[in-house]
Chain A
Amino acid sequence: MPFNSKGMITALSLALATIVAYWLAITKVGVIERLFSENKLGYAVLCVSTMAICGTLLGFFADSITNLLGWKIERVEEAEVERLEE
């Protein structure tokens, strides 16, 4: 996959923004705490969707980082792996 700096910055910004937004919502505003105590279904949906969104964003972000570092990540043949392990 070719390195995509725009994609990386977008993914990183979104992931960080999501985490900061959650942090504020939990610690300052208390929105999620209200949801937790008043609407369990809403809280459950929020939990699952958050993990899905953050997981996807962080996954693609990490993908871009490894490309940025110039790591050529590809499947290595088992025989080659054996040689590398030795």
Chain B
Amino acid sequence: MYFPFSGVEFPLWYLLLIGFTVGVCGGFFGFGGGFMVTPSLAIFGFPYAFAAGTDLQHIAGKSIIATIRHRELGNVDFKLGLLLLAGTVPGVELGHTIVEYLKSIGKEVYMLLVCFIVLSCISGYMLYELSKVRRFIKEKGIIGKDVVPSKLPQRIQNIKVPPMILLQATKVTISLWIIIAIAFPVGLLAGLLGAGGGFIMVPSLIYIIGAPTTVAVGTDLFQVMFTAAYGGLTYALSGHVDILAAILMLAVAAVGAQIGSIATAYVRGISIRYLFSIMIFSAGLGALLRFIASPETYGIAVLQNVALVLVLGAALILCIVIIIYLAKGITAAREKQRKAEVKSQSTR
């Protein structure tokens, strides 16, 4: 199919597959999926800036859909989401300026290395934390709690620099300045990497602010809605958005986002974090492979395809896992409801 704005010929089935997969993963993990979509579009011929701009536009639309669902599940802390914006918006703007500068001097490819380092660090920390959680749960015999044994959120909450903000959905009181200090670097990375920033915001909300995993996911999607729209606007102003591709991806992402968002109601916090760490590790590895594959570095072209297969393969597998979780959860819930109805009828 021909896309007149970017001037490229692109396989429609592939665009729809990316949209759906990233919709499911985005709704479940709380990220926009920029680190998957942007390289996927770029590798099939979209110029990098067009891929990033189109991706940000579709993320903005998809985040609205997922936020509507997460709001119903009680997973969105609107106050926290709005306050995060005070830091993320200037960060996105600065990131975009740096991208333009890097492009002008031909060093754009180094963003991939930054991406790899950031994602690997987050993934490594999450896997380390999850192994600690498993031991902690075993030792204490805890059942039914979203456990984060790290003392960091407690220490952060004890920094009493006014104004202190009470976040009801997150159930914490925290300084406004800390929220902004977390949000700014996240926005900067989002602008730099052409992504919504969810892959760093969700762990930040969990491990630094101390939000429950599902609330971190829902709140991040709420604020990604604004940052992606803002990022998308800046790309569109420079003419780097293909609205036709964005609309087509949004149409299928709408279905995927529903599946992903609803599945969070049936999965434990630690399971979400575990799958999340796998996802971002594969994304980081993909970025490293693309860095090595770039003609400006080592020029091993075949690694471009390996990177794409790795990232999309991981996303597809996780997408299937999420759908299975959802199907099992709904079946079990229905079975429980049916049993309750039979029981109430027999007592009558």
Q: Using a CB–CB distance below 8 Å, which chain A residues touch chain B? A: 1, 19, 22-23, 26-27, 32-33, 36, 40-41, 43-44, 46-48, 50-52, 54-56, 58-63, 65-66, 71-82, 84-85
Residues of the B chain whose Cβ atoms lie less than 8 Å from the Cβ of A66: 258, 262
Q: State whether A84 touches B333 (Cβ < 8 A).
A: yes
CB distance from A11 to the nearest CB of B (A): 11
Chain B 308-325 per-residue mask, 1 if CB under 8 angstroms from chain A, else 0: 000000000000000001
Q: State whether A77 touches B72 (Cβ < 8 A).
A: no
Given contacts A63-B69, A75-B74, A84-B332, are A47 and B246 in contact (CB under 8 A)?
Answer: yes
Complex alpha-carbon distance, A59 and B225, angstroms: 13
Answer yes or no: B254 CB below 8 A from chain A CBs: yes
Q: Which of A19, A62, A80 contacts B65 (CB 8 A)?
A: A62
CB distance from B54 to the nearest CB of A (A): 9
CB distance from B3 to the nearest CB of A (A): 9
Q: State whether A44 touches B237 (Cβ < 8 A).
A: yes
Q: State whether A78 touches B73 (Cβ < 8 A).
A: no
Answer yes or no: B239 CB below 8 A from chain A CBs: yes
Given contacts A58-B65, A62-B258, A85-B268, are A47 and B144 in contact (CB under 8 A)?
Answer: no
Which residue on A lies nearest to B251, using beta carbons?
A19
Chain B interface size band reads 35 or more
Q: State whether B73 touches A73 (Cβ < 8 A).
A: yes
Q: State whether B143 touches A82 (Cβ < 8 A).
A: yes
Q: State whether A52 touches B65 (Cβ < 8 A).
A: no
Complex alpha-carbon distance, A44 and B143, angstroms: 50
Q: State whether B233 touches A48 (Cβ < 8 A).
A: yes
CB distance from B198 to the nearest CB of A (A): 16
Q: State whether A58 touches B250 (Cβ < 8 A).
A: yes
Q: State whether B258 touches A82 (Cβ < 8 A).
A: no
CB distance from A17 to the nearest CB of B (A): 13
Q: Which of B57, B67, B238, B333 contacts A51 (CB 8 A)?
A: B57
Q: List 19 A–B pairs whose Cβ atoms lie within 8 Å, in order of A's numbering.
A: A47-B236, A47-B241, A48-B229, A51-B61, A51-B64, A51-B250, A52-B229, A54-B247, A58-B250, A59-B68, A60-B68, A61-B254, A62-B65, A62-B257, A72-B333, A73-B73, A75-B74, A77-B144, A80-B144
Complex alpha-carbon distance, A78 and B247, angstroms: 36
| A-B complex: 5 closest residue pairs judged by Cβ atoms | A79-B144, A55-B64, A44-B236, A55-B61, A51-B61
Residues of the B chain whose Cβ atoms lie less than 8 Å from the Cβ of A44: 233, 236-237, 241
Answer yes or no: B78 CB below 8 A from chain A CBs: no
Answer yes or no: B266 CB below 8 A from chain A CBs: yes
Q: State whether B4 touches A76 (Cβ < 8 A).
A: no
Given contacts A40-B237, A71-B262, are A55 and B65 in contact (CB under 8 A)?
Answer: yes
Residues of the B chain whose Cβ atoms lie less than 8 Å from the Cβ of A65: 258
